[in-house]
């Protein structure tokens, strides 16, 4: 269990400290996709319909992603990060709380992007906007109020995110003790049962740690649930895992969950299965991997 401050805040804490923090809404919208699959879009309209009072909309799909990358949600450049953070009026002394409307993985993604650039002045609202509403928190509608341009800037180049070549070399050595490859997809996606795509499934040597399974019935992360999932998987705390999912979102959720129990030495495969599946020379496994 971690001894330093938790990466999470609870809704009652936020209510008591709302005037002392900058709240960032990282919500996204679910929209119909190809072949009946769900796709996602920026959540600006959802923000307008209702958000925590005083919140500012942090667009994790566009502003806090690289617009020139091949896949969505790719980590922005250092200059891109600075521009997005400053447009939200963020400064070096800003205390930031991020939340979203879909299980906190998108807020976790923003948390990861901040940490990738050496910034630790951000925490995530445990349970998202649902937790806020559950304590009777007020909901504000409409656009965010204008704010002065901020001065927050990246403190280092990103070292958190890794690419396809990194993971391909990693699995080329087989299972590496202490550096497991953990997949945050749901079990059915990990097995490849949800698709007829011949390249469905997961990266060989991976272990499945579905991020949605780490949330309780209220959509909250608890150390107990994370510890139980790690124990079931046969994984301890002395690990430096590489995390991935379909497109880098549930992997960010895993990074947040693991940090909650003191596992901070992680890497995220940014392109995740988007990049792996589309690199046809790389193998894809369909059966579940076991420790």
CB atoms inside a 10 Å sphere around CB 62: 15
What average pLDDT does the segment 136-151 reach? 97
| CA 41 distance to own-chain centroid | 16
- Give the pLDDT of residue 33: 64
- Give the pLDDT of residue 291: 38
Long-range contacts from 39-47, C-beta under 8 angstroms, 24+ separation: 40/72, 43/100, 43/101, 46/101, 47/144
Residue 3, pLDDT above cutoff 60: no
User: Residues 191-203: pLDDT tens digits?
Assistant: 988 777 778 899 9
The reply to whether domains 8-134 and 161-277 share a CATH topology is yes
Share of the chain above pLDDT 90, in %: 84
User: Residues 35-72: pLDDT tens digits?
Assistant: 656 677 888 999 999 999 999 999 999 999 999 999 98
What average pLDDT does the segment 85-92 reach? 98
H or E stretch including 208? Answer: strand 207-208
Annotation: CATH topology of 161-277: Oxidized Rhodanese; domain 1 (3.40.250)
Residue 139, pLDDT above cutoff 90: yes
Lookup: tokens for 184? 């945050």
pTM score over 0.85 = yes
DSSP SS3 for 31: strand
Lookup: tokens for 61? 């799909």
- Domain residue spans of the chain: 8-134, 161-277
Q: Which CATH architecture has domain 8-134?
A: 3-Layer(aba) Sandwich (3.40)
* 69 burial via Cβ count (<10 Å: 0-12, 13-18, 19+): middle
Write the Ramachandran bin of 256: left for phi over 0, alpha for psi from -120 to 50, otherwise beta: alpha
């Amino acid at each position: 269990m971690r001894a330093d401050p938790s990466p999470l805040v609870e809704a009652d804490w936020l209510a008591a400290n709302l005037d002392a923090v900058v709240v960032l809404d990282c919500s996204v919208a679910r929209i119909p996709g190809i072949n009946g699959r769900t796709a996602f879009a920026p959540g600006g309209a959802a923000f307008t319909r209702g958000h925590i009072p005083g919140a500012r909309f942090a667009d994790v799909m566009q502003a806090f992603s690289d617009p020139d990358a091949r896949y969505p949600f790719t980590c922005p450049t250092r200059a891109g990060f600075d521009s997005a953070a400053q447009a939200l009026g963020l400064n070096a002394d800003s205390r930031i709380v991020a939340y979203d409307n879909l299980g906190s993985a998108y807020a976790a993604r923003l948390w990861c992007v901040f940490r990738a650039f050496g910034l630790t002045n951000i925490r995530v609202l445990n349970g998202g906007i649902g937790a806020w509403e559950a304590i009777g928190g007020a909901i504000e509608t409409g656009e965010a109020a204008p704010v002065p341009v901020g001065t927050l800037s990246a403190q280092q180049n990103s070292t958190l995110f890794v690419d396809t070549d990194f993971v391909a070399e990693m699995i080329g050595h087989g299972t590496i003790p202490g550096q497991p490859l953990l997949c945050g997809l749901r079990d059915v996606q990990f097995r490849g049962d949800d698709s007829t795509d011949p390249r469905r499934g997961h990266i060989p040597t991976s272990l499945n740690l579905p991020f949605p399974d780490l949330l309780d019935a209220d959509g909250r992360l608890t150390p107990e649930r994370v510890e139980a999932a790690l124990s079931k998987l046969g994984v301890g705390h002395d690990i430096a895992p590489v995390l991935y999912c379909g497109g880098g979102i549930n992997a960010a959720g895993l990074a947040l969950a693991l940090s909650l129990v003191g596992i901070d030495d992680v890497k995220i495969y940014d392109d995740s299965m988007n990049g792996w599946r589309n690199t046809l020379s790389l193998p894809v496994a369909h059966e579940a991997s076991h420790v």
